[in-house]
């Protein structure tokens, strides 16, 4: 299941929902708001999402992972709105019989959700400036820095 939430994420409660007597391994990932990005001091983050497509495309990513590996449960939750330093911006959890598929699917989910879902991140810097964060893959391609600074 995919959720977009404005309230803090509770990973323990989410993990509890994935509990299953057949599950021997649970891999999870949390993205936390860092105090720095590309050399600039970050004060807080703002996430904008287009929720209907985050859900629809997110469920597709989960379905793909379930086709690829034998999973017992796989879910993720993404925050929307203004987040303070240290806050959990995204949680991904995967329960499986064995750890191998739990790790692989967890990694697949976070990688694909970052690249495919309509979610944008605006950094507010300590110096008062702000800017939209470019996508990871675009940054890797080396062209086109920030859209706006």
Establish if 57 lies at the interface with a copy of itself (CB under 8 A): no
Token look-up 């959990």 returns 88
Residue 110 in tokens: 């976070």
Q: Could you give the CA distance from residue 5 to residue 19 in angstroms, rounded to a whole number?
A: 22
Options 5-13, 14-22, 63-71, 114-122: segment touching other proteins (CB under 8 A): 114-122
Judged by CB under 8 A, the residue of 7, 21, 142, 143 near a copy of itself is 21
The b-or-e profile of 6-30 (16+ CB within 10 A means b, else e) is: eeebeeeebbeebeeeebeebbbbe
**x-marked contacts with other proteins along 42-61 as a string, rule CB under 8 A:** -----xxxx-xxx-xx----
Judged by CB under 8 A, the residue of 30, 46, 57, 112 near a copy of itself is 30
Establish if 125 lies at the interface with a copy of itself (CB under 8 A): no
């Amino acid at each position: 299941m995919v959720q977009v939430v404005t309230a803090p994420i509770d990973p323990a409660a989410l993990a509890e929902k994935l509990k299953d007597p057949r599950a021997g391994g649970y891999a999870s990932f949390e993205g936390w708001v860092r105090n720095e990005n590309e050399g600039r001091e970050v004060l807080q983050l703002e996430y904008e999402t287009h929720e209907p497509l985050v859900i629809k495309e997110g469920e597709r990513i989960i379905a793909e992972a379930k086709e690829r590996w034998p999973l017992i449960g796989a879910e993720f939750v993404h925050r929307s709105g203004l987040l303070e330093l240290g806050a959990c911006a995204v949680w991904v959890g995967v329960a499986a019989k064995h750890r191998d598929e739990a790790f692989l699917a967890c990694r697949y989910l976070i990688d694909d959700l970052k690249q495919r879902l309509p979610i944008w991140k605006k950094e507010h810097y300590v110096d008062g400036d702000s800017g939209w964060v470019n996508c990871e893959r675009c940054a890797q391609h080396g062209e086109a820095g920030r859209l706006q600074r």
